Amino acid sequence: MSDHEWYKVFETQKMHEALMVQSILKEHEIESVIYNQQDSVYITLGAVSVMVKVEDGFEAMNIIEKEIL
């Protein structure tokens, strides 16, 4: 990650869900990164998080809530 502070807006154990959220955020021109903390052998252990810049956190949470939930 870079010099920006990042804020977690979504967490899952399924990489495809994180990629879907990242794609939705990209459509709304919000930069995001995926932070994968899953175990390389036991992928059911750990989480995959979607992170955005702190200043985009509120907007990203609203988009995720409307688009996914």
Report pLDDT for 43: 59
69 residues of the chain, pLDDT tens digit each = 455 699 999 999 999 999 999 999 999 999 999 999 877 766 567 899 999 999 999 999 999 999 876
1: in domain: no
Domains identified in the chain, total number: 1
Q: For position 3, what pLDDT does the model report?
A: 56
Q: Is 31 inside a domain boundary?
A: yes
Q: Quick one: pLDDT at residue 69?
A: 62
Return d(Cα 3, Cα 28) in angstroms, integer: 22
* pTM, 2 dp: 0.83
Give the CATH number of the domain where residue 42 resides: 3.30.70.1530
Give the structural domain span for 61: 6-67
